[in-house]
Amino acid sequence: MPKPFIQTLVGISILLMLPLASHGALTASANRTQYAPRDNIVLKVETDNPSQSPLDTTPLQSQFIILDQKKMMINSYAEGKRSSMVRWELQLRARKSGYLDIPSLTHNLESSDAFSIYIKSKSPTRFLPVTDMPIILDAQLQLDDNYEQALYLYTLNIYSDQPLATGYTISEPKINKAQVQLLDQSAVQIIEIRGREYHVIEQRYAIFPTEMGRYIIEGPIFNGSQQDGSQIQVRANNLEINVRARQDYDSATYWLPASNVRITESWQKNPTLRVGDIIKRQITLTVDGIAAANLPALITETPETINIQDTKLALTDKTNKNGVQGIRVELQKIQLLERGEITFPKIRIYWWDTNSDSQKSATISKQILKVLPGINGESSIEREIAQNSVAPAEPPSVQLATDDISWLLWLLGVLALLSSIGWLFNLRKIKQLNESELEGFETITKTSNADFDIGPGDNQRQEPIMPSRGAELSSFNAKAELNTFQLLGRACLKNDLLSANRRLLEWANQFWYEQQLENIQDIADIANDSSLELILMEMQELLNIQAQNRWQGRKLFDMLTQLREN
């Protein structure tokens, strides 16, 4: 046989043997053989024949969704030999239920072996372990990979080939570092599986892991019997879950993993708002997959020019077989204190969408309310103060007979100036007259006491005659007193003790303009009211111990308002 022919034959044999030698060097394996419909399938593909060419994942795409793909190089050195291995780790999700094939994958002329996995159906009637037991417990998870504090929906199916006797018990699934809550238990259904009739009861549980890690859910235990049967104890299969740590995102104060979040706002108010009006504001947060107790606060900022009279909070959990819906409602009763525009800041709630694995937010836009002055005046405080304001006298209506009125306006201005000067002069003369009358009254009183000898049996005491309040109003600046009282009222309604103390002394010295008041005790003495004195003494005590946050100014404001009206 010619030598060239032999060499050619040997070369062809070597080429034919190369694929056989490399077949099987590429391996593929899954982390489990059975999965719930929304479980993540972890597929590992390895080869000890590394190259720069990518792994062809096209055969997987018809039956699986590729969620993630990682490639890593593993080098080792043993017994003087160096070896390298390439590993691909793919996260898949099945497009349908039933038996699915992981097809053969190829890389660098190598091929992996195909194998099958089973995807359970959402319906409990499509899957049942093969067993001869009369009662079967089968546990499933809607999702076995999620975040801490997120919802893991756990389904337990109890199959019995005969009706169950009453008095049976079923324990809850057990898991460390998690909260377990029963959501729903269905009525008994009769179905046929593989030509055999079963009585089926479905239980749904919500599981909320509190810490990251991998955990085993121990299957519940059935204790009971079938009708006319012996006692049976059966345990459901164990399941494993992976709990991921919370994500870092815009909100660092709370963590809200959910499948859906909605936030709404409603108002109870008149179309036209005025100072002193009472309105109501309600914010509602609805979250699918989180209990209401874990929802964050909604109203964290409020305008300075309002008074929050009342705040109510309502937490509600709605449960059904599909999970938990938490509802948080915050209701505020608000009094408008200032005229103009009042701005309520935007409310934004950040949350993590467990379906798309991404950050989202729910918002309520900024609200601006336009507030008109109070009905009884131009007061910029609540209506109670506006009602105490003195209505300005309306100027007499003047009918002009000519179109050129500029000289008349100039003349009226001069007359007004002369009238003001005359009013000030008369005011000073009246004050001097009052002082002289008071000195004369004191002289007469002293003379009377000296001339008359009051016997020991005479208990009557002559009281000095005080001028009426109407006379006083003509002797002090009513507008300045009202403005100061408005500032005092605003400080009282805001429970601002330090500001109220300062405004109280300013107002008292204007109200009792003939006295020089230096502290709260002076005000209590001149007011001569026991109820007001108690309130003022409490105010002084809180100032002394620097407990400003304990002061409530509403009572003081009401007492002073009553005092001004008398």
- Could you report the per-residue pLDDT of 397-419, keeping only the tens digit for each? 434 333 445 566 667 766 677 66
* 43 — pLDDT class (breaks 50, 70, 90): very high
Q: Tell me, what's the pLDDT at 121?
A: 66
pLDDT category of residue 143 using cuts at 50, 70 and 90:
confident
Q: Which pLDDT score is estimated for 409?
A: 66
In this prediction, residue 181 carries a pLDDT of 94
**214 and 243 Cβ atoms separated by less than 8 Å:** yes
Average pLDDT over the chain reads 79
Q: Of 164-178, 368-382, 400-414, which gets the smallest average pLDDT?
A: 400-414
Give the range among 116-125, 286-295, 452-461, 556-565 with minimum mean pLDDT: 452-461
Mean pLDDT value of segment 284-300: 93
Same fold, 19-119 and 257-382: yes
Q: Range with the lowest mean pLDDT among 63-77, 133-147, 289-303? A: 63-77
487 closest CA partner among 342, 279, 377, 338? 338
Is the pLDDT at 328 greater than 60, yes or no? yes
Determine the topology of domain 19-119 in CATH: Immunoglobulin-like (2.60.40)
Q: Which CATH entry fits the domain spanning 135-244: 3.20.20.140, 3.40.50.2300, 2.60.40.740, 3.40.30.10? A: 2.60.40.740
Give the per-residue pLDDT at 566: 74
- pLDDT bin (cut points 50, 70, 90) of residue 83 is confident
**Spatial CA neighbour of 255 closest among 209, 301, 214:** 209
Return the closest-CA partner of residue 236 out of 162, 117, 160, 140: 140
Whether residue 342 is predicted with pLDDT greater than 70 in this model: the reply is yes
Sheet containing 306-320: give its strands across: 260-268, 278-288, 323-336, 306-320
pLDDT above 50 for 54: yes
Whether 88 shows a pLDDT value over 50: the answer reads yes
Of 239, 246, 207, 210, whose CA–CA distance to 357 is shortest?
Answer: 246
- Report the pLDDT value the prediction gives residue 21, as an integer from 0 to 100: 41
Confidence of residue 421 (pLDDT cuts 50, 70, 90): confident
Domain 257-382, CATH among 1.10.3470, 2.40.128, 2.60.40, 3.40.50: 2.60.40
**335 closest CA partner among 389, 386, 264, 269:** 269
The backbone torsions φ and ψ at residue 3, rounded to the nearest 5 degrees and listed phi first, read: -65, -45
- Please tell me the predicted confidence (pLDDT) of residue 476: 59
**Of 163-167, 169-173, 560-564, which range is least confident?**
560-564
Handedness of CA 528, 533, 539, 545 (dihedral sign): positive
Contact 291, 180 (CB under 8 A): no
Lowest mean pLDDT among 179-193, 319-333, 394-408, 480-494: 394-408
**pLDDT tier at 251, thresholds 50, 70, 90:** low
AA identity, residue 339: R
- Is the pLDDT reported for residue 517 higher than 70? yes
Instruction: Write the DSSP string, 435-496.
Output: HHHHHHHHHHHHHHHHH----TT----PPPPPPPHHHHHTTS-HHHHHHHHHHHHHHHHTT-
Section 197-201 average pLDDT: 90
On the question of pLDDT at 327 being above 80, the answer is: yes
Residue ranges per domain, the chain? Answer: 19-119, 135-244, 257-382, 472-565
Percent of the chain with pLDDT strictly greater than 90: 36
Question: How far from 342 is each of 185, 271, 365, 366, 416, CA to CA, in Å?
Answer: 51, 15, 14, 11, 38
Under the banding of pLDDT at 50, 70 and 90, the label for residue 429 is low
Where residue 428 falls among pLDDT bands split at 50, 70, 90?
A: low
pLDDT at residue 128 in the model: 62
Counting other chains too, the contacts that 353-356 makes at CB distance below 8 Å and 24 or more residues apart are 353/258, 353/259, 354/146, 354/147, 354/150, 354/151, 354/257, 354/258, 354/259, 354/289, 355/259
Instruction: Identify the pLDDT of residue 223.
Output: 94
pTM for the model: 0.51
Average pLDDT over residues 517-528: 84
b/e sequence 45-71, b meaning 16+ C-beta within 10 Å: bbbeebeeeebebeebeeebeeeeeee
For 39-48, 371-380, 417-426, which range has the lowest pLDDT when averaged over its residues?
417-426
* Confidence bin at 7 (pLDDT 50/70/90): low
Which span out of 68-72, 334-338, 519-523 was modeled with the highest average pLDDT?
334-338
Q: Is the pLDDT score of 73 beyond 60?
A: yes
Name which of 370, 338, 311 is nearest 490 in CA terms.
Answer: 338
pLDDT of 272 above 60: yes
Tell me the pLDDT band of 4, cut-offs 50, 70 and 90. Answer: low
Residue 53 reports pLDDT greater than 50: yes
Residue 465 tokens read as: 């005659």
> What is the average pLDDT across 140-148?
90
Q: Cα torsion at 347, 380, 507, 416 (round to 10°)?
A: 150
| Residue, of 193 and 434, whose pLDDT is higher | 193
Whether pLDDT at 222 is above 90: yes
Give the model's pLDDT for residue 8: 60
